[in-house]
Amino acid sequence: MTATTPAQRRVLALVFSAAMLTYFDRVCLSTAAPSMQAELGLTQVQMGYVFSIFNLAYGLAEVPSGWLGDRWGQRLMMFRIVGGWSLFTMLTGAARGYASLLAIRFVFGTMEAGAFPTLSRALSHWFPPERRSRANGVMWTGARLGGALSPAIAAAMILWIGWRWTFALFGIVGIAWCAAWMLWYQDNPLGKAHARTLEPVPWRRLLTNGTMLALFWAYFASGFGFQFFVTWLPTFLMKEHGLTLARSGVYASLPLLAGAVGSLLGGFLADRLGRRVVGVCGFLFSAIAFVASSFAGSGEAAIFGLVLAAGLHDVTLPVAWATCVDVGGRFGGTASGYMNLASSISGTAAPIAAAWLAEFSGTFGMVFWVAAAVYAIGAALWLVIDPKRGPISE
């Protein structure tokens, strides 16, 4: 296996930082929500719609954005994506009421859509197939670290400069990233094929390919379980285990930190043991950890089980993305956007389903059992997924 070159390390650093920024800009809204509601006079329901409209817009724009990345090339597309979401991050700080905030966050979702498909396609140009799982692991480590660290950083900044200037500063950081990306990233490593695909997308082959269908539903399963960690986890710890708000906030960051470790580990394991082994084992052992968490008698025991569930599941992320880009071939961005659409769908449905299950059963333990069942299906799907299947474009 060849050593990583300085140019490859630079690409990894840019991808890692972009993945972190996606979650900084997303999570800033949830941290700022109480201040925004107080100043803008928003009800809880209105704020809920502000949260949800991002997922709606993100899901609608995911496949078109992945397709544009294939046609324009990743250098230009990521400049558009990060530049666009940075602008609307800054505009979030300028919102004057419910209607303007709703419109801004809808456009923000469309701007950010396609980021991960485009980044994963960029990695496919710079790394050979036997090293792509590891490279995608670095990308998802950045995403999970961004999700884990951003609440504390955003909270400190809001206390220091207020929520409006916090959004402005996060947007400026994104603009600075765009400058670095255009300066240091090229679509075409020496001797590689061009990164743009101008021919029509073979939609029938893409949508009926067995591996792509299995990846779609496996990624639906991924999104279903993950959403609990970024929505209901603090509520679960406070209501069912009596933790304070401050303590539950600290504990809630731990599954995302475990996910960062799992993403990095999954990439290394997949390049040694094979992607299917990592996919099956990650989902299966994570399902077991979810079930164990339902029997926890304390907040500490519960978070231990959920940390295991998150870390074990996230070993599957780099193998899913590396496989999807390989199967997509010249249409890797479009294929990745299609797969990521599944996560957007389950990400929209999972918080509502969790609320209904908790209300029906009187405990979030039922949610863990359902998540475990969904993850078991994800493990079974990885028995169908063929990571060595040739690209659909051939």
Spatial distance between the Cα atoms of 221 and 371, rounded to a whole number of angstroms: 8
- Under the banding of pLDDT at 50, 70 and 90, the label for residue 208 is confident
In the predicted structure, residue 61 carries a pLDDT above the cut 60: yes
Q: Residue 123, Cβ neighbours under 10 Å: how many?
A: 25
In the predicted structure, residue 306 carries a pLDDT above the cut 70: yes
Mean pLDDT (whole number) for 330-356: 85
Helix (H, G, I), strand (E, B) or coil at 185: coil
Write the CA distances from 255 to 96, 209, 226, 290, 306, integer angstroms: 35, 33, 9, 12, 7
* pLDDT for res 381: 97
* pLDDT for res 370: 94
- Under the banding of pLDDT at 50, 70 and 90, the label for residue 197 is low
Spatial distance between the Cα atoms of 239 and 245, rounded to a whole number of angstroms: 10
Report pLDDT digits (tens) over 7-42. 889 999 999 999 999 988 777 887 788 888 889 998
Kindly tell me the sign of the dihedral angle through the C-alpha atoms of 341, 347, 349, 350.
positive
Spatial distance between the Cα atoms of 30 and 103, rounded to a whole number of angstroms: 17
Structure-token pair, residue 315: 């070993």
Give yes or no for a contact between 197 and 328, defined as CB atoms under 8 angstroms apart: no
Structure-token pair, residue 226: 């993950």
Report pLDDT digits (tens) over 109-168. 999 998 998 998 899 889 888 888 889 999 999 998 998 888 788 888 888 999 999 999
Closest CA to 106 of 147, 51, 69, 66: 51
Give yes or no for a contact between 136 and 278, defined as CB atoms under 8 angstroms apart: no
What is the 8-class DSSP label of residue 187?
A: S
What structural domains and CATH numbers belong to the chain? Answer: 1-185 (1.20.1250.20), 202-389 (1.20.1250.20)
In the predicted structure, residue 191 carries a pLDDT above the cut 70: no
Spatial distance between the Cα atoms of 325 and 327, rounded to a whole number of angstroms: 6
The pTM assigned to this predicted structure is 0.82
Mean pLDDT (whole number) for 309-327: 92
